[in-house]
């Protein structure tokens, strides 16, 4: 009996509401789960080996576009410089904190 006949017989019994064989059904379920687990392990081992050897999974990028430009980095740098200047004003005592509770 080939696998397609077994599967069609299995699904026919499920549809007809016939009494099932719990041991067989659990074995089928566990076999399918074990097969899926083995497939996942093999895929992950292959992917790890490919990446560890310096390969690429999928298509390799032919050209890379710049992620940022210099003007945005300069803008961010100036914001941090202004914040540092404000922090030094608090540390050196240029700004005085007045406690409103006193």
> Is the pLDDT confidence value at 14 over 90?
no
Q: Computed over its alpha carbons, how large is the radius of gyration of the chain?
A: 33
Residue found by looking up tokens 């074990």 in the block: 34
Q: What is the pLDDT of residue 16?
A: 61
Q: What is the tens place of the pLDDT at every residue in 49-89?
A: 999 998 888 887 777 777 777 888 899 999 999 999 999 98
In this prediction, residue 1 has a pLDDT band, given cuts at 50, 70 and 90, of low
pTM of the predicted structure, to 2 decimals: 0.44
Residue found by looking up tokens 């080939």 in the block: 2
Q: What is the pLDDT of residue 35?
A: 98
State how far the Cα of 36 lies from the Cα of 31, in Å rounded to an integer. Answer: 9
Q: Is 82 exposed, middle or buried (0-12, 13-18, 19+ CB in 10 A)?
A: exposed
**Which H or E element spans position 60?**
none
State how far the Cα of 100 lies from the Cα of 41, in Å rounded to an integer. Answer: 64
Q: What is the pLDDT of residue 17?
A: 61
Percent of the chain at pLDDT > 90 equals 39
Q: What is the pLDDT of residue 60?
A: 78
Q: What is the pLDDT of residue 31?
A: 96
Q: What is the pLDDT of residue 42?
A: 98
């Amino acid at each position: 009996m080939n696998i397609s006949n077994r599967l069609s017989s299995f699904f026919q019994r499920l549809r007809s509401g016939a009494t099932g064989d719990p041991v067989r059904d659990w074995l089928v379920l566990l076999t399918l789960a074990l097969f899926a687990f083995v497939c996942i392990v093999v895929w992950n081992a292959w992917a790890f080996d490919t990446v560890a050897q310096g390969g690429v999974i999928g298509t390799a990028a032919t050209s890379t576009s710049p992620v940022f430009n210099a003007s945005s980095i300069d803008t961010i740098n100036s914001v941090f410089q202004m914040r540092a200047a404000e922090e030094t004003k608090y540390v050196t005592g240029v700004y005085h904190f007045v406690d409103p509770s006193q």
